[in-house]
Amino acid sequence: MSEHHDPLTMIAPVMLAPMAGITDLPFRSLVARFGAGMVVSEMVASVDMLNARPGTREKAELGLDQQGTAVQLAGREAAPMAEAARMVEGQGAAVIDINMGCPAKKVTQGYSGSALMKTPDHALTLIEAVVNAVNIPVTLKTRLGWDDALLNAPQIAARAEAAGIRQIVIHGRTRCQFYKGRADWAAIRGVKDAVGVPVIANGDIVDVASARQALDQSGGDGVMIGRGAQGRPWLLAEVAHALYGTPAPAVPTGQEFAEMVMGHYTEMLDFYGVVLGLRVARKHLGWYMDTAGTSAPLRRAVLTAKTPAEAIRLLPNALSGWTGQVAA
């Protein structure tokens, strides 16, 4: 990557959302191989990173030799946030993303994630500290507000832009909605109108049609896809092709699909070690079988396999029925 290349200048602004326990290095690598504007790491708590808590390494495993990887940091105090930002920049991250969107109770009770929307002045001190600590672009991911009475994303976004934030991702729900109801893409337009930096729409974008609708309604500059990519790592490349004319991905079907899944499975076992790998891989295998429409008995057999060898023996049978078309 040359000094002059701006990692936020994406040919197709279709980004992989950070998802705890899901967007680890093996999954991000797979999505990136099909094609994505940018992939974002799982959220790392800045304090955990500085104290090197067990498991933090895996989360922050940056994949630095790969195209645009942003590392997402969360925290509630300026000094550790700045310190963690310097640390990941030193390790080669292309972009740092500040999490002000996570609705999980354990995160918001620590007054980080989306709870920061309740204290914009304090949130701004974190943003300023991170921006001033590093030379790489810093972005922000947040929600429409804390609840329907506090829809302050446009005000926070404008202040964040003034503090040097280079791009803002808005999940079209409030914190109190968690993931319930429908994402309100039209409400993201208020943020788009408040800032000059790119605004990326996020929430309920699961296919080309919903991506197009989210862009139309939000007036956004791109989309971020999370749960829609589970079991379909090529989805971002499909959306980028449809919306921005990038090359279409070759979606694997039948035996090729089974081989792709077995490759991902093996990478997870290598990355985490067998014991943890088996546990982490289970949810991914479940999503792949959802995609393939695997029968219940076969699905159960794969998910209860006690050894990798047993799972790998069953996978071709479980997955080779996938034709590339979702059953009606």
The domain that holds 203 is classified in CATH as: 3.20.20.70
Asked if residue 328 is part of any domain, the answer here is: no
Asked if residue 249 is part of any domain, the answer here is: no
Q: What is the pLDDT of residues 102-119, one digit of tens each?
A: 666 666 566 566 667 777
- DSSP, res 246: P
Structure-block tokens of residue 106: 């354990």
Do 41 and 152 share a domain, yes or no? yes
| Catalytic-labelled residue, pool 87, 102, 201, 223 | 102
Do 154 and 268 share a domain, yes or no? no
Q: What is the pLDDT of residue 3?
A: 46
Asked if residue 103 is part of any domain, the answer here is: yes
Supply the range of the domain harboring residue 32.
Answer: 14-244
Do 128 and 51 share a domain, yes or no? yes
Q: What percent of the chain has pLDDT over 90?
A: 60
Contact (CB, 8 A) for 78 and 129: yes
Do 234 and 258 share a domain, yes or no? no
Higher pLDDT, 313 or 62: 313
Do 159 and 292 share a domain, yes or no? no
C-alpha 281: how far from its chain's center? 18
72 appears as a binding residue in the annotation: yes
Report whether pLDDT(58) > 70. no
Q: What is the pLDDT of residues 233-262, one digit of tens each?
A: 999 999 999 999 999 999 999 999 999 999
Residue 102 among the catalytic residues: yes
Do 102 and 185 share a domain, yes or no? yes
Do 51 and 186 share a domain, yes or no? yes
Q: What is the pLDDT of residue 45?
A: 75
For residue 266, give the nearest of 197, 315, 193, 219 by alpha carbon: 315
- Indicate the pLDDT class of residue 63, thresholds 50, 70 and 90: low
Rg (CA), the chain: 19
Contact (CB, 8 A) for 97 and 62: no
Do 142 and 198 share a domain, yes or no? yes
Q: What is the pLDDT of residue 149?
A: 75
Report whether pLDDT(306) > 70. yes
Do 46 and 162 share a domain, yes or no? yes
Asked if residue 326 is part of any domain, the answer here is: no
For residue 170, give the nearest of 10, 15, 2 by alpha carbon: 15
Report whether pLDDT(2) > 60. no
20 appears as a binding residue in the annotation: yes
227 appears as a binding residue in the annotation: yes
- Indicate the pLDDT class of residue 176, thresholds 50, 70 and 90: confident
280-290: burial string, b at 16+ Cβ within 10 Å, e else: bbbebbbbbbe
CA 85, 134, 224, 23 dihedral sign is negative
Asked if residue 289 is part of any domain, the answer here is: yes
Do 283 and 228 share a domain, yes or no? no
Asked if residue 55 is part of any domain, the answer here is: yes
Number of domains in the chain: 2
Q: How confident is the model over 266-281, as a mean pLDDT? A: 92
- The residue from 244, 275, 292 where one domain ends is 244
Q: What is the pLDDT of residue 299?
A: 97
37 appears as a binding residue in the annotation: no
Backbone angles phi, psi at 72, to 5 degrees: -95, 125
141 appears as a binding residue in the annotation: yes
- The residue from 244, 268, 300 where one domain ends is 244
Do 290 and 235 share a domain, yes or no? no
Q: What percent of the chain has pLDDT over 70?
A: 87
Q: What's the mean pLDDT when you consider all of the chain? A: 87
Range in 76-85, 91-100, 160-169, 275-284 the model is least confident about: 91-100
Q: What is the pLDDT of residues 193-230, one digit of tens each?
A: 999 999 999 999 999 999 999 999 999 999 999 999 99
Q: What is the pLDDT of residue 328?
A: 42
Strand partners, 224: 15, 202
233 appears as a binding residue in the annotation: no
C-alpha 184: how far from its chain's center? 19
81 appears as a binding residue in the annotation: no
- Indicate the pLDDT class of residue 292, thresholds 50, 70 and 90: very high
Do 180 and 304 share a domain, yes or no? no
